[in-house]
Amino acid sequence: MRPRAHTIVLAVALASGAGQAVETREWTAGPEEMLRGSADGIAVTNLGDLLLAPRTQRLDGALEGSGALEVWSACAGNRGEIFLGTGPDGVVFRTDGNGRGDEFFRTGEAMVTALHRLAGGDLLAATSPGGRIYRIDAEGNGELWSETQERYVWAIAETDAGTVYAATGDRGRILRLRADGTTQPHFDSDEAHIVSLVHDGGVLLAGGGGTGRVYSVDLDGNAMVLYDDELDEARALVRDDNGDWVVALVGAPPRDTRRPALRLRLPDGTPVGSVEPNVPIEERQGPTLHGFIEGLATDDDAPTTLRGRLIRLDSEGRATVLWESTTETPLSLATDSSGRVVLGTGRPARLYRVEADDVVSLIATLNEAHTTVLVRHDRTLFAGTSNPAAVWRLEAIDAEQGAYLSPAFDAGAAARWGTVSWVPSGRLARTEVYTRTGNSPNPDATWSGWSPALVLADGSPMGSPDGRFAQFRVRFIGTQDSGARLGTVTLAYENYNRPPRVEGLKAGPTAAVSDSAEFSWKASDPDGDGLEVLLEYRTAYSGDWATARAGGTIGSGSGTMEWNTVALPEGLYETRLTVNDRASNDPTEAHRVEGPVRRVQVDRTAPAIDVRELADGRVEIVITDEATRVQRVRLLQDDKLAGRLRAADGVCDSRRERFEFTVPAGAAAWKVRAEDQAGNTTEADLPGAGGGPTP
């Protein structure tokens, strides 16, 4: 006979209510994601906006065949040429700005760390280590001009009156150089190095390398600290179009937080204390022991270290942070033809431009490791790089076209893709957006092809096939107004509904009951859909499932159920938990999931007890149960618990169990109480008397 449905009580471990179902979502690429994309001819701001970048070109002939690895210094000539100080061979190169370069002067030192063109036209080239300064005429003829007696010369500045000053290390001094190249101390700091030096309005601005201070030093050698930063080095200084000073500050390299390794190599059979102390471990024979010193910091414990910062100092000495990075080091500064500050970094070699106090744009990523120098001639900006050495030209006009490729976005599951939209600001160049989709994290040949060009900023259907991942590409063609930019690219999508999961259904404390069964359960939905939880049951191995609603729609979670079995016939039943997410989804995509089957024995009949007297006052007790195993057997003396009986075979684990007991002598009344697995109990009197319990 088909059993009818019965009431099930559901106790839920969280508040009821519909979850967040599969619905239309939007992915808007944030600033950090946009900066992770790749751009060619397009600048990306720290706000995530896109705009045309300056036209950039690598001048392959500028250092061709030079063997230079680093460009340490640069300055502009008076005939459109650019001079570059290089290493490791200490050569000064000259380029005409169009890519044609030649060796101008060879110092014979290791590095040309500072270049300065004097008002009279001669070129000063400072070298390190050794601290020598060479004077070179317009034809490339030069000679040693000054022995500074310092190890490093990092920068050279000249006043309007023609007095030359040099920033040096490793004693952190500014030297004044006389016309014959002899020197005298002008300012002696507490720094190890003075690494930057600029003359402006009768005052020297100097950046320290040791405590990160910016000094103002007058021409009499009197100094005051304009700014003191926690970073170690004020690498570069430049005045912007507002008349404020912009300072590039460099932090110390991150410390190595790996646990110190311990390695011992011992000769065979030699105790640790007997190892010869002066023999390198690589040359010793025998086994090697490797390990780490416990309790010391690991890489995971290392704090994030600030690698660089760009600040603006106004006339009142107030500092505004323009840019910071934990991965890139600021190395060089200059202003473009519009007075905007351009920053060169490493590693990798990148160029940033300050658009406003809160807007900095990445305008180019170069092929080399470090952008070590920036210099402007007229309206053109030149960048010198290191590792390897190269020269790049940035023109004053924007590129006529550019392209940007976003990082891949993960929708979390297979998705339908809707429209793509963006927010234009100002008159942009012709803007085309393309999309593609795939099911692997990295775009490859398995992805779809690019969609046709989409040009409606308010929203155009992507036209890309369904997939878990998506990517967009932006293309600018033509000219655009100054300050015009594209921002907030948004892709609309909707995930396919994923089925919920039944993570557990447990009948407890046993799988046999006489009146009601208690279940614990867990269920979840990967989309956060509201779930309807049901319990189904049927006679074991046959019949249809009977379903009782287990409560309202709930979210993912856990709970307990109580199943009243009083009206059901005795017997073995199968139960299962089912969940569905139909309340949160289109009927064509709703899922119903069935959990594993759990069997429950409904047993309301108590065990039968058969007592038979044996010889010598002993009794044999046989207990049987038709449905479930004998759970436990207790002794009662005058209706009070007096102990338990152990089965004759040692374990009480079947539906028929045999026991033996010797009834103690005396007037007490002895009984035996039997309980089955479903909790049904029965009692029987024990006859006779004897000498005590059987051991």
pLDDT in tens, 551-598: 444 555 777 778 888 888 999 988 888 888 888 888 888 899 988 888
Q: Which of 232, 171, 225, 235 is nearest to 198 (CA)?
A: 235
Where, residue-wise, is CATH 2.60.40.10 in the chain?
510-602
Query: What share of the chain in percent tops pLDDT 70?
Result: 87
- How far is residue 299's CA from residue 606's CA, in Å, rounded to a whole number? 66
Where, residue-wise, is CATH 2.60.40.650 in the chain?
608-685
- Sheet of strand 70-76, all strands in order from the earlier edge strand to the far edge: 70-76, 82-87, 91-95, 101-106
- How far is residue 156's CA from residue 151's CA, in Å, rounded to a whole number? 15
pLDDT higher than 70, residue 153: yes
The three-state secondary structure class of 584 is: helix
Q: Which of 660, 597, 606 is nearest to 628 (CA)?
A: 606
User: Residue 205: pLDDT band by 50, 70, 90 thresholds?
Assistant: very high
Determine the pLDDT at residue 294: 55
Paired sense of beta strands 656-662 and 618-624, if any? antiparallel
Q: What is the pLDDT of residues 447-458, one digit of tens each?
A: 999 999 999 999
User: Residue 4: pLDDT band by 50, 70, 90 thresholds?
Assistant: very low
Span of 157-171, 194-208, 254-268, 663-677 with lowest mean pLDDT: 254-268
Mean pLDDT of 364-369: 94
Choose from 9-13, 265-269, 632-636 the range with maximum mean pLDDT. 632-636
Span of 5-19, 203-217, 512-526 with lowest mean pLDDT: 5-19
CA 381 from centre of chain: 35
Determine the pLDDT at residue 562: 81
Mean pLDDT of 321-344: 94
Mean pLDDT of 513-536: 85
CATH hierarchy code of domain 238-252+305-395: 2.120.10.30
Mean pLDDT of 59-68: 85
User: Residue 691: pLDDT band by 50, 70, 90 thresholds?
Assistant: very low
User: Residue 272: pLDDT band by 50, 70, 90 thresholds?
Assistant: very low
Determine the pLDDT at residue 14: 32
Where, residue-wise, is CATH 2.60.120 in the chain?
25-42+401-495
User: Residue 627: pLDDT band by 50, 70, 90 thresholds?
Assistant: very high
Longest dimension (CA), the chain: 134
Query: What share of the chain in percent tops pLDDT 90?
Result: 59
CATH 3.40.50.11890 fits 510-602, yes or no: no
CATH architecture of 25-42+401-495: Sandwich (2.60)
Task: State the CB neighbour count (10 A cutoff) for residue 561.
Answer: 24
CATH class for the domain made up of 608-685:
mainly beta
Radius of gyration of the chain (CA): 42
Determine the pLDDT at residue 688: 65
Q: Would you say 106 and 115 are in contact if contact means Cβ atoms under 8 Å apart?
A: no
pLDDT higher than 90, residue 24: no
Q: Would you say 210 and 233 are in contact if contact means Cβ atoms under 8 Å apart?
A: yes
pLDDT higher than 90, residue 311: yes
